[in-house]
Structure 1
């Protein structure tokens, strides 16, 4: 029997969604349609402390590389919007580093990036305004900005711990994803 040289069609693979979708209940605070999820963090901010060892930051870091291959992402709930924001921020962080960036330099660069002026949903510079609802008022906007600052700081800190796990230079397996754009978007 002759061997077929035709390539198999790519299966319908789907991006990985947040496991916190199942946890969304009356207790999850929403600002617009962005889920404000608990964090395990040492940074000051409005986030509630996470009740388990696994939080949305761990999930962002675990799913970043797999989801980076997808240009489309079906949003199934507010926790997915938080996941999307985190993945886009990790991508922004990786683009700020290069192969010769030391760990101390990375801490400085990513801390500045996390605290740098950034747009929130509803503002003109926010790239995903078509997917996110703006906050209802100035108080909600201030709350979301503070939450995202805390979220970005913790995410940058844990990202550094992962990419500098084995040496004082960043992992090439993480930096290989600097050219990928999740959903063809960037923050």
Structure 2
């Protein structure tokens, strides 16, 4: 059975900018950054959260385009977020932990510490690197915020066991 790919692969728009070989898709976000608001309600952040649990079982993933690379990055970030949360963490502590994780410094494609350099191309110049860093920062913040709303949907005192069951799963045998 093949892994689930991004539905944004077919959307080739002049507004979607490609840095390296990652597409900068629109995001419904309350955080500052270079991403613009899409016309439709479903965005790449919702797709990452919808496909995370199904794709986390796969050790191999065939990349069909730039949107799949953003999907891979999002799934790996969600995996890191879940590994930082404990079963006893309440909502306020989880917000602090995931905000710190999303705002921490991170490596870009082409940097030495980036785990998937064989799949990602580095940005062409410093301006593209800054644009990609700010986009991924906004992407990480929005992803952490929406993940928290899903994990603590029923009760703010305990996280959902159906999400925390995936803390030990490693998508593509890597982590950010």
TM over 0.5: yes
- Can you list the C-alpha shifts for 1:21-52, whole angstroms capped at 9, x where unaligned? 01124432100000100000010000111111
Question: Is the deviation greater in 19-28 or in 157-166?
Answer: 19-28
1:81 to 39, 64, 69: 69
1:182 aligns with 2:165: no
Which residue number corresponds to residue 105 of structure 1? 93
Which residue number corresponds to residue 55 of structure 1? 43
1:18 aligns with 2:6: yes
- Can you list the C-alpha shifts for 1:93-133, whole angstroms capped at 9, x where unaligned? 00000110000100000000000010111111100000000
Instruction: Give 5+ residue unaligned stretches, structure 2.
Output: none
Secondary structure of 1:35's counterpart equals: strand
Whole-angstrom distance in 1 between the partners of 2:109 and 2:155: 37
Whole-angstrom distance in 2 between the partners of 1:27 and 1:117: 27
Whole-angstrom distance in 2 between the partners of 1:159 and 1:24: 27
Whole-angstrom distance in 1 between the partners of 2:101 and 2:136: 12
Q: Give the structure-1-normalised TM-score.
A: 0.92
1:167 aligns with 2:155: yes
Which residue number corresponds to residue 96 of structure 1? 84
Secondary structure of 1:179's counterpart equals: coil
Moved over 4 A (4+): none
1:147 aligns with 2:135: yes
2:28 to 23, 29, 40: 40
Whole-angstrom distance in 2 between the partners of 1:54 and 1:186: 26
Instruction: Give 5+ residue unaligned stretches, structure 1.
Output: 1-12
1:157 to 145, 168, 172: 145
What's the C-alpha RMSD, in Å, of the aligned pairs? Answer: 0.7
Mapping 1:98-137, distance limit 5 Å: 98-137=86-125
Larger Rg: 1
